[in-house]
Structure 1
Amino acid sequence: MGRHSQTDAVTAVAALADPSRRSVYEFVLASAAPVSRDDVAGKLGMVRGTAAFHLDRLAREELLTVSYRRLTGRSGPGSGRPTKLYAPTVREVSVSLPQRHYDFAAELLAAAVEESTRTGKPVDETLSRAAAQAGAEIGSEGKLEDALAEYGYQPVRDEDGSIIMRNCPFHRLSKSHTATVCGMNLDLLAAATAASEPCGCSAVLDPAPGRCCVRILPPETGSGMQA
Protein backbone atom coordinates (compact mmCIF):
# COMPACT_ATOMS: atom_id res chain seq x y z
CA MET A 1 0.00 0.00 0.00
CA GLY A 2 2.92 2.28 -0.74
CA ARG A 3 2.34 5.95 -1.41
CA HIS A 4 4.49 9.02 -1.85
CA SER A 5 5.05 10.90 1.40
CA GLN A 6 3.59 14.32 2.10
CA THR A 7 7.14 15.70 2.00
CA ASP A 8 7.60 14.30 -1.52
CA ALA A 9 4.35 15.91 -2.62
CA VAL A 10 5.27 19.28 -1.12
CA THR A 11 8.64 19.16 -2.87
CA ALA A 12 7.00 18.31 -6.18
CA VAL A 13 4.47 21.11 -5.88
CA ALA A 14 7.22 23.53 -4.83
CA ALA A 15 9.03 22.71 -8.07
CA LEU A 16 6.10 24.28 -9.92
CA ALA A 17 6.28 27.53 -7.97
CA ASP A 18 8.79 28.93 -10.46
CA PRO A 19 6.74 30.54 -13.29
CA SER A 20 9.16 29.46 -16.01
CA ARG A 21 9.25 25.87 -14.79
CA ARG A 22 5.46 25.82 -14.55
CA SER A 23 5.18 27.04 -18.15
CA VAL A 24 7.51 24.21 -19.19
CA TYR A 25 5.37 21.68 -17.34
CA GLU A 26 2.16 23.03 -18.86
CA PHE A 27 3.67 22.87 -22.35
CA VAL A 28 4.64 19.22 -21.88
CA LEU A 29 1.15 18.43 -20.52
CA ALA A 30 -0.48 20.01 -23.57
CA SER A 31 1.78 18.24 -26.09
CA ALA A 32 0.39 15.29 -28.01
CA ALA A 33 3.75 13.48 -27.99
CA PRO A 34 6.96 13.51 -25.91
CA VAL A 35 8.96 16.71 -26.38
CA SER A 36 12.65 17.51 -26.55
CA ARG A 37 14.67 20.28 -24.96
CA ASP A 38 14.78 22.02 -28.35
CA ASP A 39 10.97 21.83 -28.61
CA VAL A 40 10.57 23.54 -25.25
CA ALA A 41 13.26 26.13 -25.89
CA GLY A 42 11.82 27.05 -29.28
CA LYS A 43 8.21 27.20 -28.16
CA LEU A 44 8.81 29.15 -24.94
CA GLY A 45 11.70 31.31 -26.14
CA MET A 46 14.17 29.90 -23.64
CA VAL A 47 17.87 29.21 -23.86
CA ARG A 48 18.25 25.45 -24.45
CA GLY A 49 20.25 25.01 -21.24
CA THR A 50 17.49 26.68 -19.22
CA ALA A 51 14.86 24.45 -20.79
CA ALA A 52 16.99 21.39 -19.99
CA PHE A 53 17.40 22.51 -16.38
CA HIS A 54 13.64 22.88 -15.84
CA LEU A 55 12.80 19.63 -17.64
CA ASP A 56 15.33 17.63 -15.63
CA ARG A 57 14.12 19.15 -12.36
CA LEU A 58 10.55 18.12 -13.21
CA ALA A 59 11.79 14.64 -14.08
CA ARG A 60 13.60 14.33 -10.73
CA GLU A 61 10.36 15.18 -8.95
CA GLU A 62 8.63 12.43 -11.00
CA LEU A 63 6.35 14.95 -12.65
CA LEU A 64 7.77 13.99 -16.07
CA THR A 65 9.07 10.73 -17.50
CA VAL A 66 12.18 10.48 -19.67
CA SER A 67 12.79 8.38 -22.77
CA TYR A 68 15.35 8.38 -25.59
CA ARG A 69 14.72 8.09 -29.33
CA ARG A 70 16.51 8.95 -32.56
CA LEU A 71 14.44 11.54 -34.34
CA THR A 72 16.28 11.26 -37.67
CA GLY A 73 14.69 7.93 -38.53
CA ARG A 74 18.15 6.48 -39.17
CA SER A 75 20.02 3.87 -37.15
CA GLY A 76 23.55 2.57 -36.95
CA PRO A 77 26.87 4.46 -37.18
CA GLY A 78 26.50 8.10 -38.11
CA SER A 79 22.84 8.26 -37.18
CA GLY A 80 23.53 10.55 -34.22
CA ARG A 81 22.79 10.23 -30.54
CA PRO A 82 19.25 9.49 -29.33
CA THR A 83 17.32 12.58 -28.26
CA LYS A 84 16.17 12.88 -24.66
CA LEU A 85 12.39 13.23 -24.62
CA TYR A 86 10.00 14.22 -21.85
CA ALA A 87 6.36 13.28 -21.29
CA PRO A 88 3.86 13.66 -18.44
CA THR A 89 3.95 11.01 -15.74
CA VAL A 90 0.87 9.20 -14.47
CA ARG A 91 1.69 10.30 -10.93
CA GLU A 92 -0.92 12.48 -9.25
CA VAL A 93 0.30 15.11 -6.81
CA SER A 94 -1.87 16.80 -4.19
CA VAL A 95 -1.05 18.50 -0.93
CA SER A 96 -3.36 19.24 1.97
CA LEU A 97 -2.40 20.66 5.33
CA PRO A 98 -3.11 18.99 7.64
CA GLN A 99 -2.94 15.78 5.64
CA ARG A 100 -6.16 14.35 4.25
CA HIS A 101 -6.44 11.06 2.39
CA TYR A 102 -9.86 11.11 0.77
CA ASP A 103 -8.44 9.00 -2.05
CA PHE A 104 -7.68 6.25 0.48
CA ALA A 105 -11.23 6.40 1.86
CA ALA A 106 -12.59 6.23 -1.69
CA GLU A 107 -10.51 3.12 -2.42
CA LEU A 108 -11.90 1.36 0.66
CA LEU A 109 -15.48 2.36 -0.09
CA ALA A 110 -15.22 1.32 -3.74
CA ALA A 111 -13.74 -2.05 -2.76
CA ALA A 112 -16.57 -2.57 -0.26
CA VAL A 113 -19.27 -1.75 -2.81
CA GLU A 114 -17.71 -4.07 -5.40
CA GLU A 115 -17.52 -6.96 -2.93
CA SER A 116 -21.07 -6.31 -1.77
CA THR A 117 -22.32 -6.34 -5.36
CA ARG A 118 -20.43 -9.55 -6.11
CA THR A 119 -21.34 -11.48 -2.95
CA GLY A 120 -24.65 -9.95 -1.86
CA LYS A 121 -23.25 -9.22 1.60
CA PRO A 122 -24.20 -5.94 3.33
CA VAL A 123 -21.95 -3.00 2.43
CA ASP A 124 -21.18 -2.24 6.08
CA GLU A 125 -19.83 -5.78 6.47
CA THR A 126 -17.67 -5.62 3.35
CA LEU A 127 -16.43 -2.14 4.30
CA SER A 128 -15.40 -3.41 7.72
CA ARG A 129 -13.44 -6.22 6.06
CA ALA A 130 -11.77 -3.87 3.55
CA ALA A 131 -10.78 -1.44 6.29
CA ALA A 132 -9.37 -4.25 8.46
CA GLN A 133 -7.29 -5.60 5.57
CA ALA A 134 -5.89 -2.14 4.87
CA GLY A 135 -5.19 -1.59 8.56
CA ALA A 136 -3.30 -4.86 8.84
CA GLU A 137 -1.09 -3.78 5.94
CA ILE A 138 -0.43 -0.42 7.59
CA GLY A 139 0.39 -2.04 10.92
CA SER A 140 2.83 -4.44 9.30
CA GLU A 141 4.87 -1.54 7.86
CA GLY A 142 6.77 -1.06 11.13
CA LYS A 143 6.39 0.79 14.41
CA LEU A 144 2.72 1.70 14.84
CA GLU A 145 3.19 5.40 15.50
CA ASP A 146 5.52 5.79 12.52
CA ALA A 147 3.10 3.96 10.25
CA LEU A 148 0.15 6.06 11.40
CA ALA A 149 2.14 9.26 10.95
CA GLU A 150 2.83 8.24 7.35
CA TYR A 151 -0.93 8.17 6.76
CA GLY A 152 -1.51 11.58 8.31
CA TYR A 153 -2.90 10.66 11.74
CA GLN A 154 -0.32 12.67 13.73
CA PRO A 155 -0.22 10.16 16.65
CA VAL A 156 0.96 11.34 20.08
CA ARG A 157 1.18 9.64 23.46
CA ASP A 158 -1.27 10.89 26.05
CA GLU A 159 -0.42 11.06 29.77
CA ASP A 160 -1.98 7.65 30.42
CA GLY A 161 0.15 5.97 27.73
CA SER A 162 -2.63 5.77 25.19
CA ILE A 163 -2.19 7.04 21.63
CA ILE A 164 -4.41 9.80 20.32
CA MET A 165 -4.44 11.04 16.75
CA ARG A 166 -4.36 14.81 16.42
CA ASN A 167 -5.53 14.64 12.81
CA CYS A 168 -8.26 12.73 10.99
CA PRO A 169 -7.24 11.90 7.40
CA PHE A 170 -10.95 11.65 6.51
CA HIS A 171 -12.07 14.82 8.31
CA ARG A 172 -14.61 16.22 5.85
CA LEU A 173 -16.17 12.82 5.18
CA SER A 174 -16.42 12.09 8.90
CA LYS A 175 -18.46 15.26 9.38
CA SER A 176 -21.06 14.35 6.76
CA HIS A 177 -21.03 10.52 7.13
CA THR A 178 -19.99 10.08 10.74
CA ALA A 179 -21.21 6.55 11.48
CA THR A 180 -19.85 5.05 8.25
CA VAL A 181 -16.47 6.80 8.22
CA CYS A 182 -15.75 6.54 11.94
CA GLY A 183 -16.70 2.87 11.91
CA MET A 184 -14.38 2.31 8.96
CA ASN A 185 -11.63 4.23 10.76
CA LEU A 186 -12.04 2.15 13.92
CA ASP A 187 -11.81 -1.12 11.97
CA LEU A 188 -8.72 0.15 10.18
CA LEU A 189 -6.90 1.33 13.31
CA ALA A 190 -7.87 -1.76 15.32
CA ALA A 191 -6.34 -3.99 12.66
CA ALA A 192 -3.26 -1.75 12.38
CA THR A 193 -2.78 -1.95 16.15
CA ALA A 194 -3.14 -5.73 16.21
CA ALA A 195 -0.65 -6.16 13.35
CA SER A 196 1.95 -3.77 14.74
CA GLU A 197 1.66 -4.23 18.48
CA PRO A 198 0.42 -7.74 19.34
CA CYS A 199 0.58 -6.88 23.02
CA GLY A 200 -3.03 -6.37 24.06
CA CYS A 201 -3.33 -2.76 22.93
CA SER A 202 -6.79 -1.92 21.63
CA ALA A 203 -8.42 0.75 19.49
CA VAL A 204 -11.66 2.27 20.81
CA LEU A 205 -13.98 5.03 19.72
CA ASP A 206 -13.29 8.11 21.81
CA PRO A 207 -14.35 11.15 19.79
CA ALA A 208 -13.33 14.63 20.92
CA PRO A 209 -13.13 18.02 19.21
CA GLY A 210 -10.04 18.67 17.12
CA ARG A 211 -8.76 15.11 16.72
CA CYS A 212 -9.47 11.67 15.32
CA CYS A 213 -12.36 9.72 16.83
CA VAL A 214 -10.18 6.72 17.77
CA ARG A 215 -7.86 6.27 20.74
CA ILE A 216 -5.43 3.36 21.09
CA LEU A 217 -5.32 2.12 24.67
CA PRO A 218 -2.38 0.39 26.36
CA PRO A 219 -2.89 -3.25 27.47
CA GLU A 220 -3.74 -2.60 31.11
CA THR A 221 -6.49 -0.17 30.05
CA GLY A 222 -7.68 -1.80 26.87
CA SER A 223 -8.14 -5.31 28.23
CA GLY A 224 -11.41 -4.44 29.91
CA MET A 225 -12.87 -2.25 27.19
CA GLN A 226 -14.62 -3.14 23.95
CA ALA A 227 -13.01 -2.01 20.69
Structure 2
Amino acid sequence: MEPTLKVINALSDPTRYSIYQFVLKKRGEVSVQEVANKFNIHPNVARLHLSKLEDVKVITSELNKTGKGGRPARLYKSSEQVVELTFPHREYKLLSNILLEALNKLKLASGELLQDIGRQYGKQIIENILKSMNKTKDQLTYDEKLSVLASVSTMDGYCIETSESDEANELDYHVYNCPFKELINHSTQVCEMHIAYIHGLFEALFDDFEMKQQETILHECSECIYHVKVAKVAN
Protein backbone atom coordinates (compact mmCIF):
# COMPACT_ATOMS: atom_id res chain seq x y z
CA MET A 1 0.00 0.00 0.00
CA GLU A 2 1.16 3.56 -0.75
CA PRO A 3 2.85 5.07 2.38
CA THR A 4 0.44 8.02 2.41
CA LEU A 5 -2.55 5.69 2.37
CA LYS A 6 -1.02 3.63 5.18
CA VAL A 7 -0.78 6.72 7.39
CA ILE A 8 -4.35 7.74 6.61
CA ASN A 9 -5.58 4.23 7.31
CA ALA A 10 -3.68 4.04 10.61
CA LEU A 11 -4.95 7.38 11.91
CA SER A 12 -8.53 7.01 10.63
CA ASP A 13 -9.46 4.93 13.67
CA PRO A 14 -10.64 7.39 16.39
CA THR A 15 -9.15 5.40 19.28
CA ARG A 16 -5.83 4.96 17.53
CA TYR A 17 -5.68 8.67 16.68
CA SER A 18 -6.39 9.53 20.33
CA ILE A 19 -3.61 7.17 21.40
CA TYR A 20 -1.24 8.91 18.99
CA GLN A 21 -2.18 12.30 20.49
CA PHE A 22 -1.61 10.88 23.98
CA VAL A 23 1.88 9.62 23.07
CA LEU A 24 2.69 12.92 21.34
CA LYS A 25 1.71 15.02 24.36
CA LYS A 26 3.48 12.67 26.76
CA ARG A 27 6.81 13.39 25.06
CA GLY A 28 8.47 10.71 27.17
CA GLU A 29 8.07 6.96 26.86
CA VAL A 30 4.76 5.19 27.50
CA SER A 31 4.05 1.53 28.09
CA VAL A 32 1.30 -0.67 26.73
CA GLN A 33 -0.26 -0.79 30.19
CA GLU A 34 -0.33 3.02 30.45
CA VAL A 35 -2.21 3.25 27.17
CA ALA A 36 -4.56 0.44 28.20
CA ASN A 37 -5.35 2.20 31.49
CA LYS A 38 -5.77 5.60 29.84
CA PHE A 39 -8.26 4.39 27.24
CA ASN A 40 -9.86 1.60 29.26
CA ILE A 41 -8.95 -1.11 26.74
CA HIS A 42 -7.29 -4.51 27.02
CA PRO A 43 -3.46 -4.42 26.86
CA ASN A 44 -3.53 -6.64 23.76
CA VAL A 45 -5.75 -4.10 22.00
CA ALA A 46 -3.48 -1.26 23.13
CA ARG A 47 -0.45 -3.16 21.82
CA LEU A 48 -2.15 -3.66 18.44
CA HIS A 49 -2.93 0.06 18.11
CA LEU A 50 0.63 1.00 19.06
CA SER A 51 2.08 -1.49 16.59
CA LYS A 52 0.02 -0.05 13.75
CA LEU A 53 1.19 3.47 14.64
CA GLU A 54 4.78 2.26 14.69
CA ASP A 55 4.31 0.60 11.30
CA VAL A 56 3.63 4.00 9.73
CA LYS A 57 6.56 5.57 11.63
CA VAL A 58 4.62 8.19 13.63
CA ILE A 59 5.88 6.57 16.85
CA THR A 60 8.91 4.44 17.69
CA SER A 61 9.63 1.84 20.36
CA GLU A 62 12.47 0.11 22.15
CA LEU A 63 12.79 -2.65 24.70
CA ASN A 64 13.34 -1.57 28.30
CA LYS A 65 15.93 -3.97 29.68
CA THR A 66 16.09 -3.56 33.45
CA GLY A 67 18.74 -6.22 34.05
CA LYS A 68 16.49 -7.87 36.63
CA GLY A 69 15.51 -10.77 34.43
CA GLY A 70 12.12 -11.48 32.96
CA ARG A 71 10.69 -10.30 29.69
CA PRO A 72 11.70 -6.69 28.88
CA ALA A 73 8.83 -4.25 28.37
CA ARG A 74 8.46 -2.36 25.11
CA LEU A 75 8.19 1.41 25.53
CA TYR A 76 6.81 3.79 22.92
CA LYS A 77 7.41 7.46 22.16
CA SER A 78 6.63 9.93 19.39
CA SER A 79 8.85 9.79 16.33
CA GLU A 80 11.15 12.62 15.28
CA GLN A 81 10.30 11.81 11.67
CA VAL A 82 7.80 14.19 10.09
CA VAL A 83 4.99 12.65 8.04
CA GLU A 84 3.40 15.15 5.67
CA LEU A 85 0.15 14.59 3.81
CA THR A 86 -0.83 16.88 0.94
CA PHE A 87 -3.11 16.21 -2.01
CA PRO A 88 -1.79 16.71 -4.60
CA HIS A 89 1.83 16.67 -3.43
CA ARG A 90 3.26 20.04 -2.42
CA GLU A 91 6.70 21.09 -1.13
CA TYR A 92 5.80 23.82 1.36
CA LYS A 93 8.73 23.02 3.64
CA LEU A 94 11.14 23.41 0.73
CA LEU A 95 9.45 26.69 -0.19
CA SER A 96 9.84 27.92 3.41
CA ASN A 97 13.55 27.11 3.40
CA ILE A 98 14.09 28.84 0.06
CA LEU A 99 12.21 31.97 1.16
CA LEU A 100 14.08 32.14 4.47
CA GLU A 101 17.41 31.79 2.69
CA ALA A 102 16.44 34.48 0.18
CA LEU A 103 15.28 36.87 2.93
CA ASN A 104 18.50 36.34 4.88
CA LYS A 105 20.65 37.05 1.84
CA LEU A 106 18.61 40.14 1.03
CA LYS A 107 18.93 41.25 4.67
CA LEU A 108 15.15 41.59 4.86
CA ALA A 109 14.44 39.02 7.56
CA SER A 110 15.11 41.28 10.53
CA GLY A 111 14.11 39.90 13.91
CA GLU A 112 11.73 42.78 14.59
CA LEU A 113 9.98 42.35 11.24
CA LEU A 114 9.39 38.61 11.69
CA GLN A 115 8.27 39.09 15.28
CA ASP A 116 5.78 41.75 14.24
CA ILE A 117 4.38 39.52 11.50
CA GLY A 118 4.16 36.55 13.88
CA ARG A 119 2.36 38.59 16.53
CA GLN A 120 -0.13 39.95 13.99
CA TYR A 121 -0.88 36.46 12.68
CA GLY A 122 -1.51 35.20 16.21
CA LYS A 123 -3.89 38.07 16.93
CA GLN A 124 -5.68 37.61 13.61
CA ILE A 125 -6.38 33.92 14.26
CA ILE A 126 -8.06 34.70 17.59
CA GLU A 127 -9.93 37.69 16.16
CA ASN A 128 -11.33 35.51 13.37
CA ILE A 129 -12.59 33.00 15.93
CA LEU A 130 -14.21 35.76 17.99
CA LYS A 131 -15.83 37.13 14.85
CA SER A 132 -17.30 33.71 14.05
CA MET A 133 -18.69 33.65 17.61
CA ASN A 134 -20.10 37.16 17.12
CA LYS A 135 -18.40 38.26 20.33
CA THR A 136 -15.59 40.50 21.52
CA LYS A 137 -12.94 39.46 24.03
CA ASP A 138 -14.57 41.67 26.68
CA GLN A 139 -17.75 39.60 26.41
CA LEU A 140 -15.95 36.37 27.30
CA THR A 141 -15.23 35.01 30.76
CA TYR A 142 -11.74 33.85 31.64
CA ASP A 143 -12.75 30.21 31.17
CA GLU A 144 -14.31 31.00 27.79
CA LYS A 145 -11.10 32.70 26.70
CA LEU A 146 -9.14 29.61 27.71
CA SER A 147 -11.56 27.53 25.66
CA VAL A 148 -10.88 29.68 22.59
CA LEU A 149 -7.15 29.44 23.23
CA ALA A 150 -7.41 25.68 23.67
CA SER A 151 -9.23 25.27 20.35
CA VAL A 152 -6.31 26.90 18.54
CA SER A 153 -3.75 25.10 20.68
CA THR A 154 -5.10 21.63 19.99
CA MET A 155 -4.87 22.20 16.25
CA ASP A 156 -1.33 23.58 16.46
CA GLY A 157 0.14 21.04 18.87
CA TYR A 158 0.04 22.96 22.15
CA CYS A 159 -1.58 22.18 25.49
CA ILE A 160 -2.47 24.32 28.52
CA GLU A 161 -2.09 23.65 32.23
CA THR A 162 -3.72 26.18 34.56
CA SER A 163 -3.32 27.28 38.18
CA GLU A 164 -4.47 30.26 40.25
CA SER A 165 -3.09 32.68 42.85
CA ASP A 166 -4.59 35.66 44.69
CA GLU A 167 -3.22 38.18 42.21
CA ALA A 168 -3.40 36.35 38.91
CA ASN A 169 -4.59 33.38 36.95
CA GLU A 170 -1.50 31.43 35.93
CA LEU A 171 -1.01 28.88 33.20
CA ASP A 172 1.77 26.94 31.56
CA TYR A 173 1.57 26.86 27.78
CA HIS A 174 3.30 23.71 26.49
CA VAL A 175 4.47 23.45 22.89
CA TYR A 176 4.90 19.69 22.68
CA ASN A 177 4.84 19.57 18.89
CA CYS A 178 6.53 22.67 17.49
CA PRO A 179 5.05 23.33 14.02
CA PHE A 180 8.30 24.98 12.92
CA LYS A 181 10.79 22.53 14.42
CA GLU A 182 12.41 21.59 11.12
CA LEU A 183 12.98 25.27 10.27
CA ILE A 184 14.50 26.38 13.58
CA ASN A 185 17.97 25.09 12.70
CA HIS A 186 17.72 27.06 9.47
CA SER A 187 17.14 30.34 11.30
CA THR A 188 16.75 31.13 15.01
CA GLN A 189 14.58 34.04 13.89
CA VAL A 190 11.88 31.47 13.14
CA CYS A 191 11.82 30.64 16.85
CA GLU A 192 11.54 34.33 17.74
CA MET A 193 8.69 34.69 15.25
CA HIS A 194 6.92 31.70 16.82
CA ILE A 195 7.20 33.19 20.32
CA ALA A 196 5.71 36.43 18.98
CA TYR A 197 2.90 34.42 17.36
CA ILE A 198 2.03 32.84 20.72
CA HIS A 199 2.21 36.28 22.34
CA GLY A 200 -0.27 37.50 19.71
CA LEU A 201 -2.72 34.73 20.64
CA PHE A 202 -2.76 35.94 24.24
CA GLU A 203 -2.73 39.61 23.28
CA ALA A 204 -5.97 39.15 21.33
CA LEU A 205 -7.70 37.74 24.43
CA PHE A 206 -6.14 39.42 27.48
CA ASP A 207 -5.35 43.08 28.18
CA ASP A 208 -2.92 42.51 31.05
CA PHE A 209 -0.61 39.50 31.03
CA GLU A 210 3.04 38.51 31.36
CA MET A 211 4.62 35.69 29.36
CA LYS A 212 7.99 34.14 30.17
CA GLN A 213 9.68 31.25 28.40
CA GLN A 214 10.81 28.56 30.86
CA GLU A 215 12.05 25.80 28.55
CA THR A 216 12.93 25.58 24.87
CA ILE A 217 13.83 22.79 22.48
CA LEU A 218 16.76 24.98 21.40
CA HIS A 219 18.35 24.03 24.75
CA GLU A 220 17.75 20.29 24.27
CA CYS A 221 14.46 20.32 26.20
CA SER A 222 11.71 17.98 25.05
CA GLU A 223 9.26 20.86 24.62
CA CYS A 224 8.91 24.62 24.89
CA ILE A 225 7.07 25.91 27.96
CA TYR A 226 5.80 29.44 28.50
CA HIS A 227 4.56 30.56 31.91
CA VAL A 228 1.79 33.14 31.61
CA LYS A 229 0.29 35.30 34.35
CA VAL A 230 -3.06 36.89 33.53
CA ALA A 231 -4.10 39.70 35.86
CA LYS A 232 -7.46 39.21 37.52
CA VAL A 233 -10.11 41.75 36.62
CA ALA A 234 -11.86 43.35 39.58
CA ASN A 235 -15.61 42.67 39.74
User: Could you say which TM-score interval applies, normalised by the shorter chain?
Assistant: 0.3 to 0.5
More contact order relative to length (CA 8 Å, sep ≥ 6): 2
Which structure shows the bigger proportion of residues in strand conformation?
2
- Structure 2 length-normalised TM: 0.41
- Structure 1 length-normalised TM: 0.43
